[in-house]
Chains A and B, each alone.
Chain A
Amino acid sequence: EPEVTQTPSHQVTQMGQEVILRCVPISNHLYFYWYRQILGQKVEFLVSFYNNEISEKSEIFDDQFSVERPDGSNFTLKIRSTKLEDSAMYFCASSVYGYGYTFGSGTRLTVV
């Protein structure tokens, strides 16, 4: 069964550093998403991406965050200057139609 692949599985970074979380969505999917889950809490929407542009973003997705689909296969989330409160699991997801999507296994980001 096709999978959404995320790398790395765990990233530790110093506060103030930039991080890039990488995702390879399922190849024929057209909609791409990033969600995050702070430990023990619910999954929260960050951003959706369709037709090479952001289609919707949440209040969490401020100027410190950006997304890119640089080469038609990868989908990245960049956090420019990490804060302690950015520590969370970050999930990438993709779908064909904008529903029924497949999530990756996540990247655990720890900001120290």
Chain B
Amino acid sequence: QQQVKQSPQSLIVQKGGISIINCAYENTAFDYFPWYQQFPGKGPALLIAIRPDVSEKKEGRFTISFNKSAKQFSLHIMDSQPGDSATYFCAASTQGSSNTGKLIFGQGTTLQVKP
């Protein structure tokens, strides 16, 4: 029940295209859903995050869509660029004063954007 399932495992997109990565969870206590971007040899970097009281959040070319009833959320990268080539992780945690902020990560998606 603590798992976050992420798909696809890898994704190849042409420059200018839309990259879509999907995640699903089971634990309805999760209330914070961040996406992290990781380049080789680096730590994950927070990209964008959403809470379940909204269905969509947009920051620049990055959009999270959230479907609470389906327990799914997705990352959309518009106008994908070669510099977006990285591994993307979705994650989930339970916030609140009694919680520690532990993140449960998905398995990761390796995105390659072809010029």
Contacts and interface: CB of A to CB of B under 8 A. Distances in A.
Given A99-B32, A100-B34, A100-B49, A55 B100 contact: yes
A106 B45 CA distance: 12
B95 interface: yes
Interface of B: 32, 34, 36, 41-46, 49, 89, 93, 95, 99-108
B45 A98 contact: no
A43 interface: yes
Contacts, number: 62
The A contact surface, by secondary structure, is strand
A103 B43 contact: yes
Contacts of A44: 105
Contacts of A98: 95, 99-101
Contact of B41 (A4, A95, A105): A105
List the 4 closest A-B pairs by CB distance, nearest first.
Answer: A98-B101, A103-B43, A48-B100, A56-B100
Contacts of A103: 36, 43-45
A93 to B, nearest CB: 8
Contact of A106 (B42, B46, B49): B42
A42 B106 contact: yes
Contact of A101 (B46, B89, B107): B46
27 contacts: A31-B101, A33-B101, A35-B103, A42-B89, A42-B106, A42-B107, A42-B108, A43-B36, A43-B105, A43-B108, A45-B102, A45-B104, A48-B100, A48-B101, A48-B102, A98-B101, A99-B32, A99-B49, A100-B34, A100-B46, A101-B101, A102-B46, A103-B36, A103-B43, A105-B43, A106-B41, A106-B42
